[in-house]
């Protein structure tokens, strides 16, 4: 290669990651982040990885890790690979040693109380809570003395104040930070444990992450992390910071903020409904029903996301869930339907559902004879006539009701309601024309006869 000329960069395959800490259940905010990372990877034929940020050993649990996997699987956001930070201590140690050698991390000896005092003093002078780099100013002798005294040291990353930190955020546009206005971040605690910032960068490099998409609460972390990528000799990935979610009344309510995916599932929300909403709120594209999460990957573009907070509205989710259910094909739900319920039954019953679980109730209406309805003598006589017609072979609803109408002069409610009551035990429900063939001639006849009896 000619000196001074860079090799053309190969268009890299998109590699994204979702990096939750297994210290709790996933809520709608995390799921949105996972989904957008998945869509970005899938939409571009790339890879989507799961990384469990479990460096906080005290709060991370195997049960939460399993629950995260289960929630992702429920949503159909299956990772192509998965890693756990707790398995990668050797890598962090090696990279940390490189940063020490390069003078990009330094030990700091202040206790939490001292730091708090420094913050207060600065606040009293109207200064922002910036770390004053006192530890960086220590001479080798002073440092040796601290070590000899056994003063515990934590470690800070030394930000380079030389030039502004900039990046072209795929959601927020051009970002610019003056590193001198940021504290050198603590990257490692005195007990040797890691804070999130540095391991995340080491992993993103090692895992070949090309795009980091996360919530806008991470924007200032990104500024520091960009310098960490550079200090480790890597080009930073593309960054995109999603605007936060809010509830319908403005700020995200406590309930919504902590609204677990598990709670939504238990409430009967379809995974695809949640995905369809979360993929579009806060974007310029409409929320629309789809029948699979894959369908959302078509035409997915980070540039569609805006900077304004995205509004998450439970009522909108419920309405979308209903619309989606009414259009879901049998194959998408077959495994979750009651035994014996076939495609025709699904088609007949789904327009009446707001939750898939309600299908079982309507299927029971088909398969189980109802309690006898209260009817007038006149209605019973009418049903006896209906029974005769069914016995004589009338099996379709249109034919049966047309014949009854012609014979009895009944119409509207007077014609339909007694039949519905006798056949289903309910005064409302799926279209009888679709339901009657499911009930079948034998059961229909038995129900009409039973209801017609005194
Ligand atoms: N574990 C971090 C979090 O949950 C990951 C942030 C990131 O995506 O880098 O906030």
- 200 ligand 1 Cβ < 6 A: yes
DSSP string, 187-253: EE-TTSPBPSHHHHHHHHHHTT--EEEEEGGGHHHHHHHHHHHHHTT----EEEEEPPEEBTTBSPP
Q: Give CA–CA dist 211/224, Å, rounded.
A: 17
According to the model, what pLDDT value does residue 8 have? 47
pTM: 0.89
According to the model, what pLDDT value does residue 337 have? 96
Per CATH, the number for 369-453 is 1.10.10.350
According to the model, what pLDDT value does residue 259 have? 79
Residue 335 Cα to ligand 1 midpoint, Å, equals: 35
Per CATH, the number for 1-87+243-327 is 3.40.50.620
| Cβ count within 10 A of residue 449 | 17
| Ligand 1 atom at shortest distance from the alpha carbon of 30 | 4
Show me where the domains of the chain are located: 1-87+243-327, 330-366, 369-453
Residue 170 Cα to ligand 1 midpoint, Å, equals: 17
The alpha carbon dihedral of 326, 329, 330, 335 has a sign of negative
- 214 ligand 1 Cβ < 6 A: yes
According to the model, what pLDDT value does residue 260 have? 85
pLDDT digits (tens, 9 = 90+) for 121-130: 999 999 999 9
| Ligand 1 atom at shortest distance from the alpha carbon of 200 | 9
Which residue CA neighbors atom 6 of ligand 1 most closely? 19
What are phi and psi for residue 451, nearest 5 degrees?
Answer: -70, -25
* Cβ atoms of 426 and 370 closer than 8 Å: yes
- 205 CB-side CA count, 13 A: 20
pLDDT digits (tens, 9 = 90+) for 180-206: 999 999 999 999 999 999 999 999 999
Q: Which residues in the chain show pLDDT less than 70?
A: 1-11, 248-258, 454
Residue 184 Cα to ligand 1 midpoint, Å, equals: 19
- 237 ligand 1 Cβ < 6 A: no
- The annotation places the binding site at 254
According to the model, what pLDDT value does residue 3 have? 45
């Amino acid at each position: 290669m000619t000196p001074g000329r860079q090799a053309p960069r190969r268009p890299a395959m998109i590699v994204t990651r979702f990096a939750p800490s297994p210290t709790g259940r996933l809520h709608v905010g995390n799921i949105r982040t996972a989904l957008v990372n998945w869509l970005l990877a899938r939409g571009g034929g790339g890879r989507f990885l799961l990384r469990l940020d479990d460096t906080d050993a005290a709060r991370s649990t195997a049960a939460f890790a399993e629950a995260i996997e289960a929630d992702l699987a429920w949503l159909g956001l299956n990772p192509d690979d998965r890693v756990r930070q707790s398995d990668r201590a050797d890598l962090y140690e090696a990279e940390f040693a490189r940063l020490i050698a390069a003078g990009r991390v330094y030990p700091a000896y202040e206790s939490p109380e001292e730091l708090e005092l420094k913050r207060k003093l600065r606040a009293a002078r109207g200064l922002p809570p910036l770390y004053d780099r006192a530890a960086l100013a220590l001479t080798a002798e002073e440092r040796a003395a601290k070590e000899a005294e056994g003063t515990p040291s934590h470690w800070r990353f030394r930000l380079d104040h030389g030039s502004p930190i900039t990046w072209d955020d795929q959601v927020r546009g051009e970002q610019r930070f003056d590193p001198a206005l940021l504290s050198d971040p603590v990257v490692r605690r005195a007990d040797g444990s890691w804070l999130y910032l540095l391991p995340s960068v080491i992993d993103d490099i090692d895992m070949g992450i090309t795009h980091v998409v996360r919530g806008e609460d991470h924007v200032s972390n990104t500024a520091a992390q960009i310098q960490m990528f550079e200090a480790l000799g890597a080009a930073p990935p593309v960054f995109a910071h999603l605007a936060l979610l809010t509830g319908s009344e403005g700020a995200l309510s406590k309930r919504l903020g902590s609204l677990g995916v598990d709670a939504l599932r238990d409430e009967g929300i379809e995974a695809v409904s949640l995905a369809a909403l979360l993929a579009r709120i806060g974007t310029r594209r409409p929320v629309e029903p789809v029948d699979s999460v894959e369908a959302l990957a078509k035409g997915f573009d980070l540039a569609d996301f805006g900077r304004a907070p995205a509004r998450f509205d439970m009522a909108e989710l419920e309405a979308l869930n209903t619309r989606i259910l009414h259009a879901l094909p049998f194959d998408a739900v077959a495994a979750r339907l009651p035994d014996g319920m076939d495609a025709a039954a699904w088609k007949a019953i789904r327009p009446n559902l707001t939750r898939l679980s309600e299908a079982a109730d309507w299927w029971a209406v088909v398969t189980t004879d109802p309690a006898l309805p209260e009817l007038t003598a006149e209605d019973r006589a009418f049903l006896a006539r209906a029974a005769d017609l069914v016995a004589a072979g009338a099996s379709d609803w249109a034919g049966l009701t047309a014949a009854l109408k012609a014979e009895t002069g009944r119409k509207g409610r007077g014609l339909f309601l007694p039949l519905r009551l006798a056949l289903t035990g309910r005064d409302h429900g799926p279209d009888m024309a679709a339901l009657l063939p499911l009930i079948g001639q034998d059961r229909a006849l038995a129900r009409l006869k039973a209801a017609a009896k005194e």
